[in-house]
Amino acid sequence: MVLRRSFSNHSKALGALISRTLRGSRPLAARRRPTVRTDVRGPVAKNSSQSQTRLSFPNRAKVVADYERGDAVKDIAARYGIHRATVTEILRRAEVPARRYGLAEQIREEAAHLYTQGMGIRDVAKRLGISYDGARAGIVAYGAVLRPPGCQPQH
């Protein structure tokens, strides 16, 4: 006795034929049309474990315009109900250059100048209205050599 393939799954075509035979076939017009789930942002992805929204082309264009206007990525993401990485991906696909972060060249130069004149990093940060880490990074980026902690410059 040969039992090979007796317990295996049927092919899709055979499964469909058996299913139609058992339930009876209905004319095509009587079948329900699949509903498209949407919300205020656009069509919603099907069968997703997370809530995902596909932004329409006009909304993607608004994301790009908001970013180019100077809005922060996290604010744009909150406004459209999407993840920050999605905003970044939309900008990348639209070939929008990323903003450069960090201190401006002029502020770095001023921080390095004040530091080499004898001010401490905390004083430089306070005077320029930036964080301690920002001031230190600006001083180092401009090429100034940091003094050991607690040492005052010799005049």
| The overall pTM is greater than 0.85 | no
Q: What is the pLDDT of residues 117-139, one digit of tens each?
A: 989 999 999 999 988 998 998 89
Domain total of the chain = 2
Tell me how many degrees the CA angle 54-79-59 measures, rounded to the nearest 5. 40
What CATH code is carried by the domain that includes residue 56?
Answer: 1.10.10
- Say if residues 23 and 11 touch (Cβ distance below 8 Å): no
Please name the amino acid found at residue 71: D
Residue 27 lies in a domain: no
Q: What integer pLDDT is reported at residue 122 of this predicted model? A: 92
44, 85: one domain: yes
Domain hosting 51: range is: 38-93
3-class DSSP assignment, residue 48: coil
Measured between alpha carbons, how far is residue 67 from residues 13, 24, 42, 57 in Å? 50, 56, 20, 16
Residue 153 lies in a domain: no
Residue 100 lies in a domain: no
89, 42: one domain: yes
Pairwise pLDDT comparison (25 vs 144), residue with the higher score: 144
Q: What is the pLDDT of residues 31-85, one digit of tens each?
A: 666 667 777 767 776 666 666 667 888 999 999 999 999 888 999 999 998 899 9
79, 125: one domain: no
